[in-house]
Structures are given as C-alpha cells and as structure tokens.
Amino acid sequence: EAQVTQNPRYLITVTGKKLTVTCSQNMNHEYMSWYRQDPGLGLRQIYYSMNVEVTDKGDVPEGYKVSRKEKRNFPLILESPSPNQTSLYFCASSFTGFSNQPQHFGDGTRLSIL
Amino acid sequence: GDSVTQMEGPVTLSEEAFLTINCTYTATGYPSLFWYVQYPGEGLQLLLKATKADDKGSNKGFEATYRKETTSFHLEKGSVQVSDSAVYFCALSIASNTGKLIFGQGTTLQVKP
C-alpha cells in the first residue's frame, strides 16, 4: 500500500530535549516536505526536499533541521524544542515538486513541548 | 504574497443538504488549485484538483471549478452525507518547482443525520 509513515504519532516532551520525527514514503517520490498545522492558520511549510541531499527552507524553518540522505526518508529534527513548537506536524511527498502534483500526506505527529 | 482565504466554519448541515465552501485566492502567475480533506485523526487526502482556468475537478460527488476571473475555487456537493463530516482545506501551488502548497485555514463541516 502506498503510504507516508510518520513516527511517533504523539509525543509529550520538555523544553530543550532534542527530538526527531521520522518520515518514510514507499512511492519512490523525489519530493518531500514538512508542514505544521496550527488552529486558524492552516498548514505552513517548514522545509522541503527536491531530491536526495537537496533541502531548502519553507515559510517557518526557525528551530527545525532536516536531512535527506535517502530518497525514502526525510526526518524532522528539533535540536532544542520550545513550547511555541507545540503543534501538529505532517510529512508529505509527491513525484516531483512541480505545481500540478498532488501531495500525499502522513497521518500526522502531535507534539507537545512543556 | 500568495494566499488562500476560505469561509469560516464550522458549517453544520443536515444530511442531503447542498454544500458550498467558498475559497478565493491571490497568486502571481497561474497556480494549480486543490481541495484536501482531513478526517478526524488522519492526514490530509487529496479530494480534487484543477490545474488551469475553467478546469473542473470532481471526486466523490464533490466539484470545484477554477475561476480565474473571480480568483475562486468554491467546493460544492449536491447532497452531503454524515460521512462527509471533516475539515476541508483549499490550497494552491504556485507555478514554480518548490512544490510548496499554500493552504487556507480550513473549514470544518459537520453533517447531522
């Protein structure tokens, strides 16, 4: 089954404790992206990757890091999480980054930073 | 900058009622337009898309037409069901290869039996 898998689905942690949210897709997609969803704001892009070893900032990259060492994986790293990063996070992928390509989303990771 | 504005929710309808969720956009160039649906506890799923002016996207009884003259992409369904209860997001993708989707704030639809 074609899917985007995120882990963990839920995490409660404390300020400053490094964490990683994993994302893996099995569709051989070149393009992957991370979004955060906050009430009243819709989804906003954090980082994206056009292909292996190619990443770039989205609209809200502060406090986050990513890497793309393999085509299927695109982890999101919070080196020193803060309470304002409490949010619902989604990983997405598509065949390419062209504008007419629909994106496939994971089920989300709900992070609570205390 | 590029943006999407959706009608505020929540929208509450009775089963078999007609649904319209308004979406307007601001964009440079010629964006592709999408509607995504999010069921409780799940990720977003593509509902329909349109990639050029006057295109009509349709799926599962939902329709939306890309109106360049009014910069709109309103979602409609003739007869909603309880199972349509979800959050609906209008989004655009600008004509570049960054792949970024720009989302509206989402509209919650609740359908009552």
Does A44 sit within 8 Å of B103, measured CB to CB?
yes
Quickly state the pLDDT bin for B42 (edges 50, 70, 90): confident
Query: Which pLDDT belongs to residue B89?
Result: 94
**Mean per-residue pLDDT, A13-28:** 96
**Taking a C-beta distance cutoff of 8 angstroms, is the pair B49, B34 a contact?**
yes
Give the separation between CA B38 and CA B108, rounded to whole angstroms.
Answer: 9
For chain B, say whether A108 makes contact (Cβ under 8 Å).
yes
CA distance A45 to chain B (A): 7
Interval A80-90: pLDDT, tens: 999 999 999 99
CA–CA distance, A4 with A46 (Å, rounded to integer): 17
* Between A41 and A82, residue with greater pLDDT: A82
Of all residues in chain A, the one with the smallest CA distance to B9 is: A40
Query: Looking at the complex, does the CB of residue B57 fall below 8 Å from at least one CB of chain A?
Result: no
Host H or E run for residue A37: strand A31-38
| Residue corresponding to tokens 């929208």 | B11
A23 with A4: CB under 8 angstroms?
Answer: yes
In chain A, pLDDT over 90 holds for what percent of residues? 85
User: Which chain A residues have a beta carbon less than 8 Å from that of B104?
Assistant: 42
CA of A93 to nearest chain B CA: how many angstroms apart? 10
Give the pLDDT mean for B42-65: 95
Q: Which of A40, A103, A107 sits opposite B101 (nearest CB)?
A: A103
Across the interface, whether the CB atoms of B97 and A99 are under 8 A apart is answered yes
Residue B82 confidence (pLDDT) above 90: yes
Confidence of residue B97 (pLDDT cuts 50, 70, 90): low
